[in-house]
Structure 1
Amino acid sequence: MSRLRCREDAEDVLQDFALKAIHGAAHLADGAKIDAWLGVTLRNALFDRYRRDAGRRRMQEAVIVEPSAAPETDHDLETALICLTQAMERLKPEARELIRRVELQQAPLKAIAADAGLTANNVGVRAYRAREALRREMRAQCAACDNPCDLAARVLQAA
């Protein structure tokens, strides 16, 4: 617990560790090395938590630094969400599902890879390509929009 901010964070890491241990136990080749394997699994669960927290902090800092990037009204937010949903629907089903799992559900690449029978690196490349496809769809949609929202301005500016 000394490596985390609060007891709840420590409990979350412990739960993540327990799930990883349960799922990975079937793949353990040498039972004599279980202590070392559990240690590495716990360390990785802790590092995963650090990475997730760091990503959230970067997002919060970006929102603080760039408050004008937030939609000004509920209508702007609703418009942006409709545009994003439409762009997501035009993606290939595999790319759409990958973006949902990686970005929205924040599923670890290793878990997605295990489910798909792929390597984590391959899933990372596919996630990158899926995000790029979504960016292209958003650029095309925002460029053709009759009533551009704040999101459209940012998407087109980044192009």
Structure 2
Amino acid sequence: MMIKGLYEAHLPVSDMQSSIEFYQKLGLELAYESEKVSFVWIEKGKSWLGLWEADQVNIPYHASIRHIAFHVEAEDIIKAKGWLKERGIEVREAFGFSPERQPLVLPNNPQAHACLYFKDPDGNSLEFIAPLRLDHVEEFEMMTLEDWYGRKD
């Protein structure tokens, strides 16, 4: 089976700092922080919660709650595009990367992730995500998985 579990979920929040503090009180570790989006680990290296600061948090279909990512293994993400195609599911453009240029690698310090994006029948954003490594990753620009494996560290 391609899917190993739920990797991430997202919530809209009205105040980023107070939300980070709230989730830290629950024992979750801050993984990444910025002004408008932050992540806290639910299980380090396995699942996290994305917090998205929004002007309104009580709107029915805020973009941040119409996205989920399924955890897949790194060796499976290489085959994922073909696996989806066999099932009649098209990869969609993401971050300026056409479907042909995916999977792509996101520089989510301290962990790089390989990702592939598609939609369900209602247009909800779905993602396959595979952690590549947990050790410190130097700063890099988003790139294709093919470029990631071809680079020299």
TM-score of the aligned structures, taking structure 2 as reference length: 0.25
Normalized per residue, which structure has more strand?
A: 2
Normalized per residue, which structure has more helix?
A: 1
The structure having more radius of gyration, on CA atoms, is 1
